[in-house]
Amino acid sequence: PSQGDYPRKWNRRTATVVPRWRAGAPPAGSFVRLVPQSDRSVLVCDDALATLGAAVLPMDPSGAVLRADVLAGGRLRVGYFGPG
């Protein structure tokens, strides 16, 4: 971006999604990392970056800070802090 594009406005958002788990959802409260892929998709990984599943977010994860909480029923609450 050109210098005229600064400061950039960042927003916080929260969304709940249902990932496609590879071998069943981890227990509620488990630690997971989100790895952005193309478009709005992310890989859901464990602490060793082994892929547990994949999800599509309602926001573009590229260039954003993401955090996730595993909820009951295999859902994932995603916290987003990023542009737009």
| Residue 29 burial (CB count, 10 A) | 9
pTM: 0.86
| pLDDT tens sequence across 27-84 | 999 999 999 998 899 999 999 999 999 999 999 998 899 999 999 999 999 999 998 7
Q: How many CA atoms lie within 13 A of 34 on its CB side?
A: 26
